[in-house]
């Protein structure tokens, strides 16, 4: 099952981009009775989210990182460069970011997909497991 809806960031709303996304999530839930699990946008739009999370103190204070091993979260350090990969909404939705080069700037699509297909690079069988670079065959 898959639902999707397109939203816009209007002129003058960039500094409150996270509120715009939160409002869109509420709207999406009202329409579909499901919280989205994917937010799609183009590279430029995502770069604006990253830029604002780095320079706006109120946004930086909301950014956390999660340790992959322990699962613990912590606030981003003041000196860390922030590159966002997901958006948590009130403990109701954990939304992963996905790039869609076909979307115009200032547009984003919220998606609920119960079976998302993420593009994963497959390693050819003849590659040693300890190599970090993908092998080409």
Q: Cα separation of 62 and 17, whole Å?
A: 13
Domain assignments of the chain as residue spans, ordered by start: 2-113
**pLDDT beyond 60 at 90:** yes
Residue 119 pLDDT greater than 70, yes or no? no
Q: Which is more confidently placed, 99 or 123?
A: 99
Segment 3-45, tens digit of pLDDT = 999 999 988 888 888 888 889 999 999 999 999 989 899 999 9
Let me know: does 59 contact 51? Beta carbons within 8 Å.
no
The residue ranking higher by pLDDT, 126 or 48, is 48
Q: Which residue has the higher pLDDT, 50 or 42?
A: 42
* Closest among 37, 63, 44 to 118, alpha carbons compared: 37
Number of C-beta neighbours around residue 21 at 10 A: 21
Reduce the DSSP state of residue 47 to 3 states and report it.
helix
Q: Give mean pLDDT, residues 121-136.
A: 46
Kindly state the average pLDDT of the residues 71-89.
Answer: 64
pLDDT at residue 59, rounded to an integer: 64
Q: Which two tokens stand for residue 127?
A: 């590659």
Identify the residue whose tokens are 């115009």.
104
Is the pLDDT score of 123 beyond 60? Answer: no
């Amino acid at each position: 099952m898959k639902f999707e809806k397109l939203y816009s960031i209007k002129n003058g709303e960039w500094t409150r981009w996270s509120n715009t996304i939160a409002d869109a999530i509420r709207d999406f839930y009202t329409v579909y009775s499901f919280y989205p699990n994917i937010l799609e946008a183009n590279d430029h739009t995502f770069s604006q989210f990253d830029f604002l999370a780095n320079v706006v103190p109120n946004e930086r204070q909301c950014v956390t990182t999660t340790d992959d091993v322990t699962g613990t979260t912590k606030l981003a350090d003041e000196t860390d460069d922030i590159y966002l990969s997901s958006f948590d909404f009130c403990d109701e939705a954990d939304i992963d970011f996905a790039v869609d080069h076909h979307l115009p700037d200032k547009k984003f699509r919220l998606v609920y997909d119960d079976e998302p297909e993420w593009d994963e690079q497959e390693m050819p069988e003849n590659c040693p497991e300890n190599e970090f670079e993908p092998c080409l065959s």
